[in-house]
Structures are given as structure tokens and as C-alpha cells.
Chain A
Amino acid sequence: MRPQTARNDNPPGNPGNNQIVKEKTYMQGYESIFILDPEVNQDQQKGLLEKFKSIVDKNGGSIVHHDEWGRRKLAYEVKKRSHGVYHMFYLDNTPDALRALENQFRLEDDVIKWLSVSVEDVEEEFGKYKKLKSEGTIAQNMIE
């Protein structure tokens, strides 16, 4: 999880007149949301998360943040289930790790659906997500 720096916006013909360009540090990465079967118990869930983590680590990536939205009602039935436990990973920019993780999602019966999107700045996205969560937008419909 090496922080990357923003592109130097100096035009190529003008290679920096010894002026320090104000660089914004950000980290590109991925946001991966996955829904677990609500039937899985706490221990199984823990085991699954450990497994995902080790897969990401093995492929040279790292999970920057992990958060659980908790059990909530799905907008439509997925694999005959009307509820699901939402989890979210913020990963660093390692395509191999994401590919391996998604492969594992595919194999795992307890993962009923997932969605990965790439994000410009992991920390910023996480901050936005935290804000949404604290406002209760995400936590709604949790119990039903």
C-alpha cells in the first residue's frame, strides 16, 4: 500500500523550475462489496473473512479497510435469499489480488453477490462511506 502521488501537471517543455509542485497524495484502489448468506454463523463468517484476507495478502495486495453493514433486506431475491449480510473491503491497487479475491467469491457458496468498483482515492471514499453510515443512510432497512 504505497501511497501514490498525483501526476505532475507541469507541461513537458517546462521541467520544473526547481519549484516544488504541490502534490496531493492519494491512493487508488478498489472497493469491493459482497453479500454473505444470512445463514452463516459468526464463526463461519470470521473464517471466511480470514480466508479472503489471506488470499489478498498472498497475491501481494492488502485490505486497507474492512467494514460490515450488517444484515439487511435485499431489494430483490438473490439465490432464493431475501436477506444478506453486507461486507465491504477497501483494497489497494493490486489487480491480481482483486482477481484472486473475486475468483474466491465465485467459488464460495456463502457469497451470494458481490460488486467491485475502482476508486480514485481509497481514504476519501472510506471517509464518504463513513459519513453516509453515520447519517444512517446505509444502516437503514437493517432489521426486517
Chain B
Amino acid sequence: MQTPEFQGTHLFDRLCWAKENLDGVQSDYRVVYEDSVDECAKILVPDPNWMACALQGGILPPVQVYWELAKDEAEEGFTKHTRGYLLHNTEPVEAMTEEQALEYLIMKDCPQHVWRDYDSGNKPKMVICRKEQLPATREWRNAWKISEELATDETVAA
């Protein structure tokens, strides 16, 4: 299905169009990251409707738009977004592969301090894996950490 020309259309309206016209895409990928040494590993799951938008192209704004809004919100005395138009008026990004969509999602929804230097320490702070690589049960969930000895064919968080 052809994406309508969406530049200038409110992003919420585009999402409503996508929900009505695109089938959701369940990703098998998960992003495991450690936000803080004092907390357990977090598991990010892509939304199927969002993934459909990413694969379709012409719907989502560039990820840099979200960074700009995050900067605004981090300002002292922030009460309300005044640059929401960036979401709606910036030229939408073209269709992505699932892998590109995951990179975009990481840069949008994971803390910047995690993904900007995810492999600078003794072990990675972030790993992309398949859901089958996560522990099979949620026992001791609050103790999950990224494995110190990573291997792509083994469970990554234990």
C-alpha cells in the first residue's frame, strides 16, 4: 500500500492511518540494556504497530526530532512543548529494514548514556538478541544482568 504524503500531517493522524491500513509486525528481536549498575537488565520490546510504520516508510519523523524534544523537556522550568511541530512538519523517514528500525528505536527509547557508549566498559551495556535467547522463565527477574561472557547462540541475560 502506498503511504500518503504525510509531511505536515499530525503524527497522531498518521498513526491512526497506519493502524487502520497496515498489519502489525511482531519482531523477534529484543533489546537488553543496563541503565544503572544498581538495577536489573531491562528488556525493550518493539511495538508491532510502530514496527509496521517503520517498515512502511513515510510515516515516522527522523529520530533527531525526538532528541530535540528531549532537550526541550530537560530545560529547567519546562512546562509544555512548543516545538511539537517538529514531529509533524519534518520530512518523514523512508522505509527501514527491521534491523534499521531497531537501531532507530534504540536511539529513540533507550537512554542516550546507554547506547552512545554501550561497549566501552568491561562488558556491553546493551545487547540486541532474539526473544528465544532470554531466560525461559521470569524467576529471579530482578537479578537479571547481561552475561559477562556473551555468545550469540546462547542465553544473553541470566
Q: Do A and B come from one complex?
A: no
Give chain A's interface residues, CB within 8 Å of chain B: none
Give chain B's interface residues, CB within 8 Å of chain A: none
